[in-house]
Structure 1
Amino acid sequence: MAKASKSEVSSDEAYSSEEEAQVNDQVNVEEDDDKELQAVARSADSDEEAPASDDEVVPVEDDADEDEADNKKAEISKREKARLREMQKLKKKKIQDILDAQNASIDADMKNKGK
């Protein structure tokens, strides 16, 4: 068997130390990830158990007020939907006008080139 030269041995040692550093870095990252997951889990658990603050409490309204508000919202919704439909129709009409003008311009250019 041939004896390994000093340069080969030192490069092997350097390579193995690089591998060890990579493995150690990976282990450290995994430990950090585990710590973060545990911290998130703890905060999620504490959020579930915490009582509602004053900001989170929603006051209870009368049914008549809710019905009136729902009716207003429904009316507004209907008007907005109708307005959007009209805007879409107008948009389609304008697009068609633009396309017609472009087509007419192209046709005129083709006739002039043909002469």
Structure 2
Amino acid sequence: SLQIFEDESHPNMHMQAKSKEGLSLFSILSNTRTVLGKYLLKQWFFRPTLDLAVLDERRRTIECFLQPDNLDISGQFTTCLKHIKNIPKIIENMNGRLNIKDWQSLLQ
């Protein structure tokens, strides 16, 4: 099989702990900084797009972030992103209804 996803069980079978991602294509390619980023990447693996325009846009975005002139900004961007809990919620609420926790996560 392709082993796109592989759960690794905890050695203690009596524990009801969550399994973790084992060695798989997803675990190798997943370098996300947020929970929602990991969720989005997983959705892309479960339901890959056939739309060439979407694929090309993703490719160009990755290419932009990996250009030597952009590496410093990319690093700063990812550092900032990992402190923000729920980006879609914050963007949705930016019309003046943000609560103090949302503002704090943006300022960190």
Same fold per superposition (TM over 0.5): no
Greater radius of gyration (CA) = 1
Higher-helix-fraction structure: 1
Shorter chain as normaliser: what TM range? under 0.3
Normalising by structure 1, we get a TM-score of 0.19
Work out which structure has the larger RCO, using CA pairs closer than 8 Å and 6 or more positions apart in sequence.
Answer: 2
